[in-house]
Structure 1
Amino acid sequence: MPEAKRWGDMRTEDKPLITVVTITYCKFEKIYDCILSVLNQDYPNIEYIISDDGSSNFEQGKIEKYIGENKKSNLKDLYILTHEQNVGTVKNINGAYRKAHGEYIINVSGDDAFASNDVISKIVNKINTYKPEVMGVSRVALDEKGREMYYMPHASYVKKLSSFDREKQFKKYVSGQFYAMFSGSALVYSKQFMEKMNYFDEQYRLWEDGPFVARTLETTRITPAYDIVGIRYSTGGVSGSNTNTLLLRDVERYNRTTRRENAHKLGAFYKALTLFNIKDCGLDYRERLTYAVMIIPIVVYKLIYKMIYLITEKKDIANLRKGERH
């Protein structure tokens, strides 16, 4: 995997080096918007890694030229990595993370873009305050035409999600009650913590973040920073489709191993919620019926929150367009 260019020193005295990682595979319609959103960041100390997963249409020379023409002095280091054959999202991103020299790593997929030019600066301010091992920010979901649809997580959930301690984060995530509270496209990782965790689990091919979040939350609270809108997120990404066969296999593996193994640590209610939602969980008809009765309160709870979601959605987007996040 060849290196591209290197410019200048990698560190300044008062600002940690931040590594931005962009992984790509076959879809390049938005790649230059993505790259420009990185190059336009006002943060002074950035390392940028682009890693392509064996695309036949990856134009490395053109990308190098574009970066060379648009870079600023804050781009301290650049690597463009390529795989001769497709290895899957998890191995691709692990290779990029292992290459990273930054104290923290931020993802911005080739289909996505930073939401504003000061995203990294805002993130570093939080890092300096909280010293997180992993931190989660917000995303703006876009439709196929690039129109803003909603925040992830939605504004109606933010206050509640931000109050969770590590144990509650773990229970809510593994039970599937609040998947949207953390996503790989909106997580910031300490490089030291990633090394400690041995990076993402390569038993999975496409789904790096879900199993990693569950594994992290067993011992470590993920710091919420939802007031930062980090990413403009395209909902039709490479592995974003629920019908992707390889992704579904990853989800089945996660359900069969991580969720099932941890269900018994969650207490009766969250155990019921988790096992009821897993196919082939080993429950007989009577047990499934018992668990169904136990989770009725959560169904009612979700219906109420759905009503709040629909009521507040228009206000959420209005605030988004004003550059606000409440």
Structure 2
Amino acid sequence: MDHPLVSVIILTYNNFNYLEQCFDSVLCQSYPKLEIIISDDCSRNFNKSSVENYLRNNKRENIVDYKVMQNNKNLGIVKNLNHTIKTSKGSYIVPLDCDDCFYDEHVISLLVQKFLKTGANIITGYRNVYDKSLNKFLYRLPEKKKIKLFTPDHMDQLFEELCRRNIIASACTSYSRKLFEQYGYLDESYKVLDDYPEYLKLVRLGERIHFINTTLIKYRLGGISTGKAINPAFEEDINLVLKKEILPYPEKISKRLYRVKLYDYRRRTEKNVNLFLLSINYFDVVLIKIVERLKFSIKTYLINKYQI
């Protein structure tokens, strides 16, 4: 059997607490033909030689090549990822966040089997969510009831669901190089959101996102999209998603959801908006959000109390 080269891409930026744990989850993979590329986005104290030594001393024969790169200036996640994808040589590209780990040693082998069997350009799967120590399992995502949305007959519903919220994690989504040859690289008008705008664009254009029924990632809470601190670049990117990927396509989503997104965009971007008047004009949307917040609070409480 021919084994196409797989490029595992790890981006770093001022976050090295769990790097060896991340590396070890790659180095133990059973797949026989891997390339590892680490690209640091101009961190303050990135030790390139130490990373190279660790990979050199711990790699096995299945690691056919590895590269450790450091940008001279900070590019942001999207530009850094594009640069790293262009540098890579694999037929398939598997990004891995530097604070996460592959679920087990068979992850990449299963992904390649799925790519070859289906001819997919993009594949996602389950991630198990843990606390910061990666010891306490919290829950599994996406929810099982969402999995049917990844079938060919439900692509319109998947686009609408993605407009509500991103249910696809970049942490467990992999790509064929053919995807970038067909659609181009990631949109660099975004700074930190490498995944969400891309999923919206691809599904809107009719590209199926395949789902593999296995857990791919041990996902550690506390990243850009899960941490409590407000990230200005993330907030700007979310505003741009609304403006560029959702609001121009009202015919593809329900009228109610369109009103919700229009309310969100106005509330987030109109500096002199009167929130009281806006809430009156969008009273139906405010009620929807109150109900959603209550449901989320109840669900979070049950998860924390009963580990469901």
Distance 2:193 2:107 in 1: 25
Instruction: Provide Cα deviations, 1:9-29, integer angstroms capped at 9, x if missing partner.
Output: xxxx52221111000001101
Q: 2:218 aligned to 217, 232, 251, which one? A: 232
Match of 1:127 in 2: 115
Q: 2:194 aligned to 197, 200, 208, which one? A: 208
User: Does residue 173 of the first structure (1) align with residue 162 of the second (2)?
Assistant: yes
Contact 1:139 1:232 in 2 (8 A): yes
Aligned to 1:278, the other structure's residue is in SS state helix
Give the Å deviation of 1:245. 1.4
Equivalent residue letter for 2:53? K
User: Does residue 293 of the first structure (1) align with residue 284 of the second (2)?
Assistant: yes
Equivalent residue letter for 1:232? K
Give the Å deviation of 1:272. 2.8
Contact 1:97 1:105 in 2 (8 A): yes
Instruction: Please show how residues 233-272 of structure 1 align to structure 2 within 5 Å.
Output: 233-237=219-223, 240-241=226-227, 243-272=230-259
User: Does residue 79 of the first structure (1) align with residue 79 of the second (2)?
Assistant: no
Give the Å deviation of 1:308. 7.2
Equivalent residue letter for 1:270? L
Distance 2:122 2:191 in 1: 22
Distance 1:139 1:90 in 2: 22
Distance 2:155 2:148 in 1: 13
Match of 1:322 in 2: none
Distance 2:282 2:156 in 1: 22
Equivalent residue letter for 1:30? Y
Match of 1:278 in 2: 265
| Structure 1 spans left out of the alignment, 5+ residues | 1-12, 318-326
Distance 1:123 1:25 in 2: 27
Q: 1:153 aligned to 137, 142, 146, which one? A: 142
Aligned to 1:205, the other structure's residue is in SS state coil
Distance 1:309 1:167 in 2: 28
Match of 2:25 in 1: 37
Distance 1:21 1:32 in 2: 15
Instruction: Provide Cα deviations, 1:142-181, integer angstroms capped at 9, x if missing partner.
Output: 22232221112134x344444562211111112x1x42x2
Match of 1:182 in 2: 168
Contact 1:263 1:270 in 2 (8 A): no
Give the Å deviation of 1:239. 6.3
Contact 2:51 2:68 in 1 (8 A): no
Q: 1:224/1:298 Cα in 2 relative to 1: closer, same or farther (>3 Å)?
A: farther
Distance 1:35 1:71 in 2: 10
Equivalent residue letter for 1:87? L
Equivalent residue letter for 1:236? G
Distance 1:120 1:166 in 2: 26
Equivalent residue letter for 1:116? D
Using the aligned pairs only, state the percent identity: 26
User: Does residue 46 of the first structure (1) align with residue 37 of the second (2)?
Assistant: no
Match of 2:13 in 1: 25
Instruction: Provide Cα deviations, 1:260-294, integer angstroms capped at 9, x if missing partner.
Output: 21234324233233323333589999997676537
Equivalent residue letter for 2:235? L
When the two chains are superposed, the root-mean-square deviation of aligned CA atoms in Å is 3.0
Aligned to 1:279, the other structure's residue is in SS state helix
Instruction: Provide Cα deviations, 1:210-235, integer angstroms capped at 9, x if missing partner.
Output: 1111111111121122x221111122
User: Does residue 99 of the first structure (1) align with residue 87 of the second (2)?
Assistant: yes
Equivalent residue letter for 2:141? M
Q: 1:315/1:114 Cα in 2 relative to 1: closer, same or farther (>3 Å)?
A: farther
State the number of aligned residues. 300
Aligned to 2:36, the other structure's residue is in SS state strand
Contact 1:17 1:103 in 2 (8 A): yes
Match of 1:108 in 2: 96
Give the Å deviation of 1:40. 0.3
Equivalent residue letter for 1:243? I
Equivalent residue letter for 1:209? D
My pick for the range that moved more, 254-263 or 237-246, is: 237-246
Equivalent residue letter for 1:149? L
Q: Under a length normalisation based on structure 1, what TM-score does the superposition of the two structures give?
A: 0.81
